[in-house]
Structure 1
């Protein structure tokens, strides 16, 4: 076990993610369940990983991430237009509602209803926090924690 976060570490953390207006978008402290981040697996942005590398257990760090290092820049290519008849089975959409859409490959993708005009419904598939600078507060609880084994130990 290493004493500081490395490029391939698993890190158990408590974090709070705040928006520019000071509102909290997500916090592991709210439910008392820390998050497990795995550096190097592609699930975290390079910018976030860079802030974690070198931290030790009990370290606390607060930092801002610009959109390109957080949830990306909002892309106009991620805004799609649908016909109202494509929503017949889902019911009447409401502006601001988040709905799951099935892609051609069968995967599901959330989209936010941004506009309804006559027969046209505008859906935004950008991450809801795309284009925003976010403020992280992170506390490192464990580095490379020993996770519970999923297989049974033989009794002998």
Structure 2
């Protein structure tokens, strides 16, 4: 075991789980292969990454990640009205239905049906976890200096 602490300039291998306040598991790799990433490479949201700073190999910790450090607060401007006619007759609209859209750059964008009527469909493009506190459980398996290329 090394004395390295997790922070900028390190590469970390860990097990993690993300849960909602009610205990529902969003994601976990405790029963799978661990994840390895370099701090600051974008594989982990900055708020989750910063919570890990200062931990050492062998640490097991649970953090509460506030919305502003995780998936952000919902933005009312991200709920869009789309004409009902743009949805094919083969799509059975229901509240909560997740659909895939293409943005202006042709990138895939997920949206959730929040409501609809005969004329328009209300689509929420906020991240599904926006506004939620996330329970972040981690077990640090290995910390090593990051390779500089």
Q: Shorter chain as normaliser: what TM range?
A: 0.7 to 0.9
Partners of 1:90 and 1:138 in 2: CA distance: 43
The two structures have a TM-score, normalised by structure 1, of: 0.81
Partners of 2:113 and 2:101 in 1: CA distance: 11
Pairing 1:117-132 to 2, within 5 Å after superposition: 117-132=117-132
List gaps (5 residues or longer) in structure 1. 147-156
Q: Across the two proteins, how many residue pairs are aligned to each other?
A: 145
Pairing 1:1-156 to 2, within 5 Å after superposition: 3-30=4-31, 32-88=32-88, 91-144=91-144
* Pair 15,142 (structure 1): closer, same or farther in 2 beyond 3 Å: same
Per-residue deviation, 1:72 = 0.4
List gaps (5 residues or longer) in structure 2. none
The two structures have a TM-score, normalised by structure 2, of: 0.85
* 1:49 counterpart SS class: helix
- Asked if 2 retains the 8 angstrom alpha-carbon contact of 1:12 and 1:145, the reply is no
RMSD (CA atoms): 2.3
- Asked if 2 retains the 8 angstrom alpha-carbon contact of 1:10 and 1:37, the reply is yes
Per-residue deviation, 1:41 = 2.6
Partners of 2:8 and 2:85 in 1: CA distance: 48
Partners of 2:64 and 2:29 in 1: CA distance: 18
Which residue does 1:151 correspond to in 2? none
Could you give the per-residue CA deviations for residues 66-93 of structure 1, whole angstroms, max 9, x where no partner exists?
Answer: 1000110010111111111111176233
Could you give the per-residue CA deviations for residues 87-144 of structure 1, whole angstroms, max 9, x where no partner exists?
Answer: 1176233221211100111111111111122221111111101001111100112224
